């Protein structure tokens, strides 16, 4: 490990870094200092102000520029003679195919989302290039892991937690936590008012309940011709915070064991003639620049950490709605919530707070609401630096082919067994992993009722994470995606999507073995179909059950449908870690932790590799004591949170 010994391996290595963000900046710097001379770096993002506190290669003047390119320039200042090749692109682009990956000796991930991580994992397996993964995917905090095909587990051998979802009725009718109000404001109200009108929206359903007929309810959200924008805003306000609550209250059953919400009408807080009262547009006057349109600015409110009163929230709500219609009318109908969109954050904060007030839930500041709505992951420079150092140490071992010493290292929040950095031996590949092994999966599905479309959406895309799938039944092609298909084929596949499985040109019935491939990821897996007539609507809401590979621990849903608090700019599972949401670790998670330090000590290097017991988790605490744990929980004595 002495710096000179590994120099040849490092000097001749060609490495690929995916991600030039928090970990990426630290990693690129550390690679350059450690003597790496040929580094390629992919990142599709541009630099934002909130990056500057930790992505230290970037300056205020770089805001808006490519992260990969600016990072390269910054590192060349202190290591001018090395080669850094930046790509301002999405790693999922077809340019970055298996052949592209094959040119590298090792791939290092500094990514922030599950989707890209899965993609890179598959390409590394296909290209047979070792991958070093990092991030908050561990159950004990940050971690660094080595994935080498056939030798250690791949990134997907252990299922990843599914995004946190909430039952629809909790969101639409019985919120009990602030996050429920945020999800309502963001996924329902914001989407209804400013998003795609054709999208199904549960707000619809609710507002058509009760006294009003569905026709009238539909109309509520339409901005009527010639209607004054102030009046429109107040009408929406009174409808969602007043009328809808009244309707909900009329259902006595719901409130038997719950606190009854309070309807809120805009007239309680502001006189009917509010155009004088509310913000002055002049303050936004110069702002033809959309990003600077702000209700807070026009109302003279400055501190995003203040918790606004109900009246202030009401004013922000109306002002933000007005500004959308007056300043950003063109975008209406196409907007999706974005945590970097100030006006959207203001609207969602205000709407969530008014709803929270109605339901007796404590109000929150814009700063906090933004964190919840945007699923903002907390980040500081120090942790990224530590993680980057650990990645480079593992990368050097991989390049030296020092397989015995590969480690997975946890960077812990609280010391465990006196350790802040806890190395464990990497786990073996999971033999039932559909990504890195060839074991077929098994799918229970109603072949007479489920359409090919359901199968493609719920299984192939959502569960298996394929982006360009091809489905074969024997030699017959049932479905494929690609640019080079002729019209006739496209029409054929489109027709197939709407057919139930048993009525496809080549019928899929019980006992059928389907082959699913993703040509870009070079991933292929087989699914054995088993017909099943009935499914439990609550426990198996998809109407299909995939097995043979451990499914991620998903959140119990008590409703047929559910709404996710989806991040707008990443596909990372939303961070939702309330006290009650601990994940039950599936029994498969009991794995081994074996210790290490003595492997370098010739006398003890014979610590038996065969002592592996997959049912136990072992920590070789020190020279001579083998500690065995049955469960991760007992290692830290700490509840595991979803993230």
Partner 1 sequence: MDIIQILSSSRVFLAPPSLPIVLRLGMDGEELTEQETALYDRQIRVWGAGAQRRLSKAHILVCGITGTIAEFCKNIVLAGVGSLTLVDDRAVTKEALSANFLIPSDENACAGKTLTELCRDSLKDFNPMVRVSVEKGDLSSFGAEFYSKFDVVVVSCCSFTTKKLINEKCRKLSKRVAFYTVDCRDSCGEIFVDLQHHKYSKQKQEETIECELHYPSFEESISVPWKALPRKFSKLYFAMRVIERFEEAEQRKPGELSIADLPAVVKLKKELCEAQSLNESHIPNVLLERLVTDTREFPPVCPIIGGILGQEVIKAISGKGDPLKNFFFFDAMDGKGIIEDVSGKT
User: CA-CA-CA-CA torsion for 342, 343, 348, 353, nearest 10 degrees?
Assistant: 90
Among 7, 205, 211, 420, binds partner 1 (CB under 8 A): 420
Instruction: Give the tokens for residue 194.
Output: 């400013």
Query: Rounded to whole angstroms, how far apart are CA atoms 257 and 101?
Result: 58
- Ranges of beta strands (E only) in 379-455 are 408-416, 419-424, 441-445
**Buried-state track 560-583, b at ≥16 Cβ within 10 A, e below 16:** eebbbbbbeebbbbbbbeeeeeeb
| Residue 150, Cβ density class (10 Å: 0-12 exposed, 13-18 middle, ≥19 buried) | exposed
Selecting among 25, 124, 157, 169, the annotated active-site residue is 169
375 binds partner 1 (CB under 8 A): yes
8 A C-beta contact, residue 86 and residue 72: yes
Q: Which helix (H) or strand (E) holds 517?
A: strand 513-518
Q: Toward partner 1, which CB reaches closer, 55 or 512?
A: 55
Site string for partner 1, 259-298 (x = CB under 8 A): ----------------------------------------
Compute the least distance from the CB of residue 33 to partner 1, in Å. Answer: 4
Judged by beta carbon, residue 229 or residue 377, the one nearer partner 1 is 377
> Got the DSSP string for 324-389?
HHHHSGGGTTT----TT-HHHHHHHHHHHHHHHHHTTPPP--HHHHHHHHTTPPP--HHHHHHHHH
What residues from 226 to 255 belong to the interface with partner 1 (CB under 8 A)?
A: none
Give strand ranges (E) for 126-269: 131-135, 141-147, 165-167
Tokens of 127: 């290209």
Residue among 255, 325, 367, 629 that touches partner 1 (CB under 8 A): 367
642 to 38, 550, 584: CA distances (angstroms): 37, 17, 10
Residues 383-412 that bind partner 1 (CB under 8 A): 383, 385-386, 388-390, 392-393, 396, 407, 409, 412
With contacts defined by CB under 8 A, name the span among 116-124, 151-159, 225-233, 569-577 that binds partner 1: 569-577
Choosing from 195, 423, 426, 553, the residue that interacts with partner 1 (CB under 8 A) is 423
Query: Which of 187, 202, 312, 576 contacts partner 1 by CB under 8 A?
Result: 576
Locate 362 and state its tokens.
Answer: 């404590």
CA dihedral defined by 456, 111, 142, 462, rounded to 10 degrees? -10
CB of 293 to partner 1, least distance (A): 16
* Stretch (H or E) spanning 183: helix 178-183
- Taking the least distance from each CB to partner 1, the nearer of 160 and 641 is 641
Applying CB under 8 A, among 225, 330, 378, 539 the residue interacting with partner 1 is 378
Tell me 152's DSSP state: S
The nearest distance, CB 595 to partner 1, in angstroms, is: 8
548 binds partner 1 (CB under 8 A): no
| Shortest Å distance, C-beta 239 to partner 1 | 28
- Chosen residue from 14, 37, 38, 56 binding partner 1 by CB under 8 A: 56
54 touches partner 1 by CB under 8 A: yes
Residues between 150 and 209 with contacts to partner 1, criterion CB under 8 A: 177-179
Distance in Å, CB of 133 to partner 1, minimum: 16
Tokens of 464: 């298996």
Q: Interaction with partner 1 in 614-633: which residues (CB under 8 A)?
A: 621-623
Q: Is 35 in the site for partner 1 (CB under 8 A)?
A: yes
Total residues at interface with partner 1 (CB under 8 A): 85
Residues numbered 597-616 forming contacts with partner 1, rule: CB under 8 A: 597-601
According to CB under 8 A, which residues from 343 to 362 bind partner 1?
362
Residue 425 found at the interface with partner 1 (CB under 8 A): no
Question: Minimal distance in Å, beta carbon 97 to partner 1?
Answer: 30
**433 flagged as catalytic:** no
Q: Kindly state the smallest distance separating residue 306's Cβ from partner 1, in Å.
A: 9
- Could you identify the residue written with the tokens 């609710």? 206
Residue 337 binding partner 1, by CB under 8 A: no
257 or 382, CB closer to partner 1? 382
Q: 389 or 543, CB closer to partner 1?
A: 389
Place of tokens 């109900």: 310
Half-sphere exposure of 343 (CA within 13 A, CB side): 27
Residues recognised as catalytic:
169
């Amino acid at each position: 490990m002495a710096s000179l010994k590994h120099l040849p391996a490092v000097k001749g290595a060609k490495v690929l870094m995916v991600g030039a963000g928090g970990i990426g900046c630290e990693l690129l710097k550390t690679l350059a200092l450690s003597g790496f001379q040929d580094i390629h770096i992919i990142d599709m993002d541009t630099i934002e102000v909130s990056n500057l506190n930790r992505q230290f290669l970037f300056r205020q003047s770089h805001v808006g520029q490519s992260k990969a390119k600016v990072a390269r320039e910054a590192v060349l200042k202190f290591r001018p003679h090395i080669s850094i090749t930046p790509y301002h692109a999405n790693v999922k682009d077809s340019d970055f195919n298996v052949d592209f990956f094959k040119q590298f000796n090792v791939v290092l991930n500094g990514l922030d989302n599950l989707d890209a991580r899965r993609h890179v994992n598959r390409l590394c397996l296909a290209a047979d290039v070792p991958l070093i993964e990092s991030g908050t995917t561990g159950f004990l905090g940050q971690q660094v892991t080595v994935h080498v095909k056939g030798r250690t587990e791949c990134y997907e051998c252990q299922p990843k937690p599914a995004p946190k979802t909430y039952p629809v009725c909790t969101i639409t009718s019985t919120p009990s936590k602030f996050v429920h109000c945020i999800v309502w404001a963001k996924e329902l109200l914001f989407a209804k008012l400013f998003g795609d009108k054709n999208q199904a929206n549960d707000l619809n359903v609710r507002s058509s309940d009760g006294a009003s007929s569905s026709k009238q309810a539909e109309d509520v959200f339409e901005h009527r011709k010639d209607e004054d924008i102030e009046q429109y805003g107040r009408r929406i306000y009174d409808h969602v915070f007043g009328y809808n609550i009244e309707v909900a209250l009329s259902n006595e059953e719901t409130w038997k064991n719950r606190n009854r919400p309070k309807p809120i009408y805009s007239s309680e807080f502001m006189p009917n003639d509010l155009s004088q009262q509310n913000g002055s547009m002049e303050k936004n006057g110069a702002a033809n620049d959309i990003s600077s349109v702000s209700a807070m600015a026009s109302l003279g409110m400055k501190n995003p950490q203040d918790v606004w009163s109900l009246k202030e929230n009401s004013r922000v709500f109306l002002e933000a709605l007005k500004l959308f219609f007056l300043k950003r009318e063109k975008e209406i109908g196409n907007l999706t919530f974005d945590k970097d969109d100030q006006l959207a954050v203001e609207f969602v904060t205000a709407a969530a707070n008014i709803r929270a007030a109605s339901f007796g839930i404590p109000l929150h500041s814009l700063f906090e609401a933004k964190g919840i709505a945007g699923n903002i992951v907390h980040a500081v420079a120090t942790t990224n630096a530590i993680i980057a150092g650990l990645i480079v140490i593992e990368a050097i071992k991989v390049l030296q082919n020092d397989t015995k010493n590969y480690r997975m290292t946890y960077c812990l929040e609280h010391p465990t067994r006196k350790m802040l950095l806890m190395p464990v031996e990497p786990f073996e590949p999971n033999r039932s992993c559909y990504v890195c092994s060839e074991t077929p999966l098994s799918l229970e599905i109603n072949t007479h009722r489920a359409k090919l479309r359901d199968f493609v959406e719920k299984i192939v895309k959502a569960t298996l994470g394929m982006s360009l799938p091809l489905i074969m039944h024997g030699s017959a092609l049932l479905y494929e995606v690609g640019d080079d298909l002729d019209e006739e084929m496209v029409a054929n596949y489109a027709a197939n999507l709407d057919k139930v499985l048993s009525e496809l040109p080549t019928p899929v019935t019980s006992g059928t073995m389907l082959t699913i491939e993703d040509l870009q990821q070079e991933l292929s897996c087989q699914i054995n179909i088993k017909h099943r007539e009935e499914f439990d609507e609550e426990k198996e809401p998809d109407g299909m059950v995939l097995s043979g590979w451990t499914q991620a621990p998903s959140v119990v849903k008590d409703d047929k449908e559910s709404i996710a608090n989806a991040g707008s700019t990443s596909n990372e599972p939303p961070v939702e870690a309330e006290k009650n949401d601990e994940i039950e670790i599936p029994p498969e998670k009991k794995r081994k932790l074996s210790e290490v330090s003595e492997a370098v000590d010739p006398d003890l290097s014979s610590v038996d590799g065969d002592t592996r017991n997959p049912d136990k988790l072992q920590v070789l605490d020190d020279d001579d004591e083998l500690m065995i744990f049955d469960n991760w929980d007992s290692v830290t004595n700490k509840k595991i949170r979803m993230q």
